[in-house]
Structure 1
Amino acid sequence: MWILLGILAWAGGSALNVWLARQAPGRTTALAVPLIFGVTLIFVWEAAVRGFGISPVLLPAPSAIAARMAGSTGVLWEDFVQTVIKGALSGYVIGCLAAFGTAIVVDRFDFLRRGLLPVGNFVAALPIIGIAPILVMWFGFDWQSKAAVVVVMVFFPMLVNTVEGLRDTSAMQRDLMRTYAAGYWTTLLKLRLPAAMPFIFNGLKLATTLALIGAIVAEFFGSPIRGMGFRISTSVGLLALDLVWAEIVVAAVAGSAFYGGVALLEKAVTFWHPSQRGQS
C-alpha cells in the first residue's frame, strides 16, 4: 500500500511540476516548483521506509525525524547556538573582515599580492581534518577553537575574491578618475570597491557554506557537551539516527538561510550589475 502511494505521489508531483514549467515564468511558479518537489520527495521517502520496512537505524522516516525534532527542541536550540551562532557566525565575521582589510593592503602594495596569494592558495588547500585538531589544542574545546577553524577556512577564499574584484576595473575607467584628480582612496571608494562588490559577495556566499561545515567538523575533534558536531558523533555511536537527521535538518535550514540572507543583501547592493538585472 505504501509503495503504491509513493509511486502515485511521485507521478502526481512530477506531472504537476511539468505543467507548472510550461506556464509563464513568475515568482509564484519559481517558488512552487521546488516546494512541490520537496514535499513529493519527503512523501516518497516516508512511503519507501514504511513500505520496505527499512530499519530506523539505517534510514529513519521523515515522520520519526519530525517527532524527534519536536521532542528535542531544547537540545537542538542549544546545539544551534553553540555551533552556528558562536562558532560559525563569529568565525565568519572575523575571517571575512580580516580578509577584506588584508585585501585592501595587498592591493595597495603589489609585492604582497605576489607573495601572499600563493600562500593563500596553499593554506586553502589544507584539509580541515588536519588543521582542526591543532586549533582545538591551541584554543581549547569551547567555541573559540571552532571559530578559529572557520577563520582559517573563510579567510583566503574571501581574500582572493576581494583582491580579484579590486583589480576588475578597466584602464579607461582608472584614467577617467585621474582626469578628475582623484587620489588612490577616492578611486578606491568611488570606483574600485563598487566594481568589486560582485566578487566580494561571491566570496561571502562561498564562505557561508565553509563556515558551517568548518564549525561542525571541528566539533568532532573536541567539544563541550553541546554542539551539532558533538551531537552527531555521539548520536551515531548510540544509534540514535533520528537525532542525527534532526541535526542535519537544522544545519541545512541554517545554512540555506545564511546563504539566502547574503544573496538578498547582494541583490540590494549590486542591483546595477548585469547578473542582477531582469531577476524578479
Structure 2
Amino acid sequence: MSARVLRSLGWLALALVLAGFVLWWIGDGGVFAAGTAWIALPILVAAAAVWLALRGLSPVPGRAAGIAVPVLFGALILWLWQVLVTGFQVPQILLPAPSQIGARFIGSLDTLWVDFFQTFIRSAIPGFLIGSGTGFLTAVAIDRSPFLQRGLLPLGSAVSAMPIVGIAPIMIMWFGFDWHSKAAVVVVMTFFPMLVNALAGLEAAGAMERDLMRSYAASYRQTLLKLRLPGALPFIFNALKLNATLALIGAIVAEFFGTPIYGMGFRISTEVARLNVDMVWATILVAAIAGSASYGLLALVERATTFWHPSMRQAER
C-alpha cells in the first residue's frame, strides 16, 4: 500500500469522525447517553489512522498498516452506524444499531451455530469441493483433448448462465429438501469459475518453457505436473477464493426455496416474516464471518504455496 493511499485513508478517517460529531451536535444529544466510551473510540481510531497514514512514508510498517487500516475503518463505520441510527432514532425494523445486532448475536449463539452447521458445513463445503474439483478435472481433460474443448466449453457456458433462482427449485425436486439439494446448487455455481480459471492457468506457460520440456523429451504428464500445473496455481487459487464466497451465497439462496427447520437461508426468510430484523442481521454477520474466514484461509494457503510466483512477489511490495 503506497504512502499516498495511506495518507488519504488517514484524512478520510478524520473527516468521518468530524462528520459524526457534527451529526451528534445537530441531533438531540442522546447518542452518547450510554456513556463516554462512544466519544473516546472515534478519537482514538482517528488518531491511529492518521498515525498510520504518516508512517506510510516509511517502508517498515507496511504489512501492519495493511492490516490495521481496514480494521480501523471498520470500527469507524460501526461507530458512525451507531451514531446515525441512535441520533436520528431510526426504527429497529428498518435498521438496527450494531449494539442491538451484537446483543442478538450473543444471545442466539446456539441457534446461529445450528444454522451455520447446516448451511456452511453440510451444504456449502461439500458443494464447493465437488464443484471446484470437477471443474479442475474437466479443465485438464479439455486441455488434453481439443474435441472436448469444442464440446464442453459451450455447455459449461450455458450452465453458468442459468439463474440460481431457476436451478434451486429443480435441485430440490431432484434431491429433496435436505442439504443434498443445496450442495447440488453450489456444485453448479462453482464448476464454471474453476473451469475457466484452470484452463487459463494451464495455457499460461510460455513457449520457451514448453520448448525446454520438449527438448528433455518430457511427456504430457511430466509437462503438466512440473511446468503447467505449478504455473496455473495462481489462477486456481483465484477460482477457489471466488468459489468460497459463491458457495455460501448459493447455499443460502437455495434454502429460500425449501429446507428443514434450520439453516441460514431459512433463518433469514423466517425472521423477516416475523419482523425480527436484528436476528436477520445477526445471521448475515455469521455469513460474512464465514465467507471472510474462508477467503482469508485460502489466501494464506496461496501465499504459502505460490510464494515463488512473480505475482506474489509484486503483491508484497
Q: TM-score range by the shorter chain?
A: over 0.9
Give the residue type in structure 1 aligned to 2:210: R
Alignment match of 2:85 (pick from 30, 49, 58) = 49
Q: What are the residue-to-residue correspondences of 1:65-80 with 2, within 5 Å?
A: 65-80=101-116
In structure 2, the residue corresponding to 1:223 is in which secondary structure? coil
Give how far 1:218 is off: 0.3
User: Where do 1:23-172 residues align within 5 Å?
Assistant: 23=55, 24=58, 25-172=61-208
Please, which moves more after superposition, 255-264 or 266-275?
Answer: 266-275
Structure 2 residue aligned with 1:17: 49
Whether 2:293 is the aligned partner of 1:254: answer no
Alignment equivalent of 1:191, drawn from 227, 235, 239: 227
Deviations 1:96-136 (A, max 9, x none): 11111111111110111122112212211211111111111
Unaligned runs of 5+ in 2: 1-28
TM superposition score normalised by structure 1: 0.95
CA-CA distance at 1:12 after TM superposition: 6.4
Partner of 2:252: 216
3-state SS of 2:260 partner? coil
Aligned length: 280
1:117-160 CA-to-partner distances (Å, cap 9, x unmatched) read 12212211211111111111111111100000000000011011
Computed over aligned residues only, the root mean square deviation of the Cα atoms, in angstroms, reads: 1.8
Between 1 and 2, higher relative CO (CA 8 Å, sep ≥ 6) is seen in: 1
Amino acid at match of 1:22: L
Shift of 1:13: 4.1
Paired AA for residue 189 in structure 1: L
Tell me if the contact between 1:9 and 1:44 (Cα under 8 Å) persists in the aligned partners: no
Q: SS where residue 105 of structure 2 aligns?
A: helix
Percent same amino acid at aligned positions?
59
Decide whether the 8 Å contact of 1:2 with 1:48 is kept in 2.
no
CA contact (8 A) 1:20 1:29 kept: yes
The one-letter code matched in structure 1 to 2:284 is: I
Q: Report the counterpart of residue 176 of structure 1 in structure 2.
A: 212
In structure 1, what is the equivalent of residue 13 of structure 2? Answer: none
Q: Return 5+ residue gaps in structure 1 as ranges.
A: none
User: Which residue is 1:274 aligned to?
Assistant: 310
Residue of structure 1 equivalent to 2:276:
240
**TM-score of the pair, normalised by structure 2:** 0.84
